[in-house]
Amino acid sequence: MTIVEASRILPITSRASTPSLEGSLGMGLKGERSPARPPLDPVECLVCLIHGRLQQVSGSLRMEADVLAYAAGLVASWPSRTEVFVSSYEYVERLIGVRDYYRSRKEELNKAALSSLPQIRIPETLPEALEFMAAANGIDISMPGYKPGFARLVKGLGEKPHYRGVARESLLDLEGASRLVVVLDNAGEAVFDMAASSKLSSRYGIELVFVARSEPYEIDVTSSEAEELAGRLGLDARIIATGSRLPVFHPKALPESRRLVSDPSSIVLVKGIANLEAYMDFHEDFAGSRLLFLLRAKCNPLSRFFEVSMADPIIASASYVKERLKNWREGVLRG
């Protein structure tokens, strides 16, 4: 279905309403409050939001206007980065009348990853496996300044990450943990993450659990897609769903998924930008969790946050993220 066809069969009876801008995003403007969970950058994060959502309605000025109006309403209230991005994705689905509008791309990415897997050496030791998984975060939807692709992902699998808040020599040891939990991110890279973490769980003799969103969001794998991939890979693992489009760190995610991630007997590997930013939004609920974030800094705000070059891979501890976030937000408010 084309965008033009969708606009004909899916009339929007009420235009996206824009709440009053009173009490809006308010990044240091006199008389405006600051949001409790602000974006990392008050300009670039909004550009990323609009860039991502307009891709699906390009060519229809009416739909572009609707998306912009809806986004403006979200920005005016700004509950959190997580809710703004998820709500706007869901709105575009309704607007064009196409559920899971990245489905074909996800299928292509997973197929390519499964086909290439026999030619890729999957590390079996903890440091190498985590470095491999961090480097594998090369897939995403198009972002300002970053053009992802499967070939780019494969080419970068050997890149060494920057360590933040944890040294390579002192990475969390899986001995003593009751399970390895992997919070999955994008299609394609999820195949590599599942293969690498399976080797780790076998090596240390502990349970393997994958956490994924229940409903579609961008090119993230859903829990049902993760189950299919685990079956095709022949993995002995549990798949836990968050219950909706929301990531596991959101307070409305299913309690079972949040308990697994917050359990100090779990070693939790968190993949990608959206999961990291959800943790930034709601980290107060996960004190004591044993988390490591594995991602690439695929945008300028994150490259500045982690003090790395654009698209560099990173392995970061939760304590580093929290402390850096505290200082970062204080700097934004002062600015």
Domain positions in the chain are: 1-8+36-101, 123-334
pLDDT tens by residue, 126-179 = 999 999 999 999 999 999 999 889 999 999 999 999 999 999 988 877 777 999
- Residue 244 CA: distances (Å) to CA of 46, 84, 335: 24, 15, 36
* Residue 27 DSSP one-character state: S
Q: How far, in Å, CA of 50 to CA of 138, rounded?
A: 21
213: β partners: 222
The dihedrals phi and psi of 41, each to the nearest 5 degrees, come to -135, 125
Sheet containing strand 238-241, edge to edge, reads 162-164, 313-317, 290-296, 266-271, 179-183, 207-212, 238-241
Contact 191, 233 (CB under 8 A): yes
List the structure tokens of 108.
Answer: 């292509």
pLDDT tens by residue, 1-34 = 443 333 333 333 344 543 332 333 333 444 455 6
Please give the CATH topology (third level) of the domain spanning 123-334: Rossmann fold (3.40.50)
pTM of the model: 0.90
Q: Concatenate the DSSP letters of all residues of 77-124 into one string.
A: H---HHHHHHHHHHHHHHHHT-SSTTHHHHHHHHHHHHHHGGGSPPP-
- Residue 290 CA: distances (Å) to CA of 269, 298, 307: 9, 24, 23
pLDDT tens by residue, 265-319 = 999 999 999 999 999 999 999 998 999 999 999 999 999 999 999 999 999 999 9
